[in-house]
Amino acid sequence: MTARTSLRSVAESRGFDVGAAVDADLLRNDAGYWKLLRREFTTVTPENALKMGPLRPSPDTYDFGDADAVVNFGLEYDMTVRGHTLVWHNQTPEWFEEWAYTDDGIEGFLRDHIHTVAGRYRDKIDVWDVVNEAIADDGSMRETVWYDAMGEAYLDEAFGWADDVTDADLYYNDYGADGINEKSDAVYDLITGMLDRDVPIDGVGLQLHALHDEPDPGSVAENVYRFEDLGLDVQITEMDVAYPEGEVPEDHREQQAQYYRSIVEACLDTGCETLVTWGVRDGDSWVPGWFSGLTDDPLLFDGSTPKPAYHAIMDVLAEGSD
């Protein structure tokens, strides 16, 4: 019988990882936050601290303070660490003016960045989101500074540079590609091409921000299977669940709980062994600051109080392991 003292204890006895995106300031300043985190989760990922902007105050300097705080916290409490993210079009440094570089200059800059950052955490970070969100919503390649300078090869190069310096599992991560749809088809094609070219990719991260709709869990499972059939691992990397005004079910916390439950079930069915929520407590979520007209309680905790979604995940993980 599994002791149901925490989500973490139940997850650990099931061999499942439950993670959360972590804010470095809260970790330093809010004891309630870090106690909840270390008690309830098995995995941490810095919410922002490993992105290029926060890491690079100027072209020649790095500020690893926040990233180290989150990574070291995870290691201290025997948690695994997901690194997010080496290459993205958002949260690039403010001083980074792409037109001031040649294409070769951008390539060299990105190579040095990946070597330095992934190399620093070589023995500390278990999984890296090497490239985040390379596919646009219509399934085409997203026009980013990296794509403009290097073409689609920027992905191959980025994974290769990460592989030079770390043994971490190397992931491609994206949103809106959770179930089978046009975008996940494009991700599938992109990754099939990379595998054909022997690019060292180990996994696919499905963000699963269920903010305007809830991707069908059966379709998510089917999608996980097709990536696994390529020999890749799949993780749910940024889950949160909110409802648009006017479409909020009366019992929305129960519905939210059911949805979290159904995604964990899909994970257990398919062998996707990690689910990360994009934050810990509702009050710390990015959702209200970024979207208007959505319910503002997308996560598993209301303050430090576990919500129905928390209990639903706990129940499904405990089933079968008792």
State the catalytic residues.
Answer: 133, 238
Q: Nearest to residue 290, comparing CAs of 240, 248, 255?
A: 240
Looking only at the bridges linking them, the beta strands covering 233-241 and 209-210 are: parallel
- Torsion, CA 7, CA 12, CA 13, CA 15, rounded to 10: 120
Residue nearest to ligand XIL (CB): 286
Amino acid at 33: Y
Size of the site for ligand XIL (CB under 6 A): 7
Q: Does 47 bind ligand XIL (CB under 6 A)?
A: yes
Which of 6, 48, 92, 166 is close enough to bind ligand XIL by CB under 6 A? Answer: 48
The contact mask relative to ligand XIL for 261-290 (x = CB under 6 A, - = no) is: -------------------------x----
Site for ligand XIL in 182-241 (CB under 6 A): 207, 238
Contact 42, 300 (CB under 8 A): no
Instruction: Name, in order, each residue with C-beta under 8 angstroms of 199's C-beta and a sequence gap of 6 or more.
Output: 155, 156, 159, 160
Half-sphere exposure at residue 31, Cβ-oriented, CA atoms within 13 angstroms: 0
Closer CB to ligand XIL, residue 175 or residue 260?
175
Which of 6, 43, 132, 184 is close enough to bind ligand XIL by CB under 6 A? Answer: 132
CA distance 288 to 171: 28
Contact 118, 200 (CB under 8 A): no
- The CA angle 90-94-99, to the nearest 5 degrees, is 85
The contact mask relative to ligand XIL for 139-178 (x = CB under 6 A, - = no) is: ------------------------------------x---
Closer CB to ligand XIL, residue 50 or residue 314?
50
CA distance 157 to 272: 27
Closer CB to ligand XIL, residue 64 or residue 286?
286
- Shortest approach of ligand XIL to residue 49 CB, angstroms? 10
- Shortest approach of ligand XIL to residue 207 CB, angstroms? 6
Closer CB to ligand XIL, residue 46 or residue 308?
46
Closer CB to ligand XIL, residue 279 or residue 308?
279
* Contacts with ligand XIL, residue ranges (CB under 6 A): 47-48, 132, 175, 207, 238, 286
